[in-house]
Structure 1
Amino acid sequence: MKPEETVREQKRMGLGMMVLAWITLLGLGALFFSDALERQFNPNRELETRYSEAGVREVVLQRNRYGHYVTSGEINGHPVTFMLDTGATGVAIPDAVAQRLGIARGRAYRTQTANGTAVSYAATLDSVAVGNIVLHNVQAGIAPGMGIEEVLLGMSFLKHIEFTQRGDSLILRQYAPPS
């Protein structure tokens, strides 16, 4: 190989390595910023449950940057993202999420939403959990028209929980059943 060809080959390899380094750097940056945006939307991805001596379970949620309480949780043992909605009568599950979780549609009924009247389908959830606060046999509605991935955690769950808002925190408490 001539010296000029060796120099050209080395330049080509150097350029290839530089392109590879930039692609790697951009990929890592995208992962970092994607995680940062997710933390801003759902600051409650990892919940800690506190227990009192009286058996009270307590979970503290932080408000997200948009003013909503969004948290990770579970329906029937499967992970979901909840958005707490005290204005919702029940737990409202987007159709795509219900299909992913294998929740069957029950009878159809009309619901009044912020966008007008819609059709939802009744469902009973075996369990709904936020941290270690767990309720069983929770009434829910499967809402085909919901264009979001978050499950609205409404009053069919929240009415069994004491909740108190202080500043940017919402404290959920579940009392031990009487013996």
Structure 2
Amino acid sequence: MSDDAKVQRRLGLVMWLLAWGLALALLTWYFLQKQAQDYNPNQQVQTLDVQTSGTQAPSTQTIVLKQNRQGHYVASGEINSKPVVFLLDTGASLVAIPEGLVDELDLVTGQQISLNTAAGTVTGYRTRVKNLSLGPFTLYDLDAVIMPADSNEILLGMNVLRQFELTQRGSKMTIRR
């Protein structure tokens, strides 16, 4: 076999390996995106304008959230103008923020408190959230707790949810203010 043939063969092998590597990278990217969408189908919160019946008053802002595959309502939002992921939790009294996000969200750790969670009693800390946004809704100066947790998921508790009208039908939740 000539030297030119060997070079061409090596070049062909390198191109073949690069093609397979690129295909593997694209498939990995696709399935990671799909997994993220399955976990949080509300990465872009769907907003509806609903006219108040029989009045000339301005319309009410409404959002619709889809359940994820586990049956939870997860949605993207913001705390202190930083992007976060919320898990709507009617069993949580306050917004609960994992301690790993304290610095990223510019939170001040306050008084130590005991928290009763599904996993038992844990030690947490009081804090204040300057602003919290979910779709078109923004709330200001909210009580929250910092809790030990391994995830970056923020529990959206009843101190926020009670300010809205929540309606669940099938696998969708409508939130109206």
After TM superposition, the structure 1 = structure 2 runs for residues 26-175 of structure 1, keeping only pairs within 5 Å, are: 26-53=24-51, 54-143=58-147, 145-174=148-177
Kept in 1: contact 2:49–2:62 (CA 8 A): yes
Q: 1:14 aligns with which of 9, 12, 15?
A: 12
For each residue in 1:18-55, what CA deviation from the matched residue of structure 2 results, as whole angstroms up to 9, or x when unmatched? 00111111001100000000000000001132233434
Check if 1:24 corresponds to 2:22. Answer: yes
Q: Which runs of 5+ in 1 are unaligned?
A: 175-179
Task: Call closer, same or farther: CA 1:55–1:108 in 2, change over 3 Å.
Answer: farther
User: Does the residue aligned with 1:86 lie in a helix, a strand or coil?
Assistant: coil
**Cα drift, residue 142 of structure 1:** 0.6
User: Does the residue aligned with 2:103 lie in a helix, a strand or coil?
Assistant: helix
Give me the CA root mean square deviation: 1.1
Looking at structure 1, the residues matched to 152 and 50 of structure 2 have their Cα atoms a distance apart, in angstroms, of 34
For each residue in 1:31-87, what CA deviation from the matched residue of structure 2 results, as whole angstroms up to 9, or x when unmatched? 000000000000000113223343421110000001100000011111000000000
Deviates more, 1:52-61 or 1:71-80: 52-61
Task: Call closer, same or farther: CA 1:107–1:55 in 2, change over 3 Å.
Answer: farther
**Cα drift, residue 98 of structure 1:** 1.9
TM-score after normalising by structure 1 = 0.92
Aligned residue pairs total 171
Looking at structure 2, the residues matched to 57 and 115 of structure 1 have their Cα atoms a distance apart, in angstroms, of 36
Q: Which runs of 5+ in 2 are unaligned?
A: 52-57
Looking at structure 2, the residues matched to 133 and 55 of structure 1 have their Cα atoms a distance apart, in angstroms, of 14
Kept in 1: contact 2:108–2:128 (CA 8 A): no
For each residue in 1:124-149, what CA deviation from the matched residue of structure 2 results, as whole angstroms up to 9, or x when unmatched? 11111110011111111011x21111
**Cα drift, residue 115 of structure 1:** 1.1
Percent identity (aligned): 37
Looking at structure 1, the residues matched to 101 and 75 of structure 2 have their Cα atoms a distance apart, in angstroms, of 16
Kept in 2: contact 1:164–1:171 (CA 8 A): yes
Looking at structure 2, the residues matched to 129 and 48 of structure 1 have their Cα atoms a distance apart, in angstroms, of 14
Kept in 2: contact 1:92–1:140 (CA 8 A): yes
Looking at structure 2, the residues matched to 71 and 154 of structure 1 have their Cα atoms a distance apart, in angstroms, of 13
Kept in 1: contact 2:40–2:75 (CA 8 A): yes
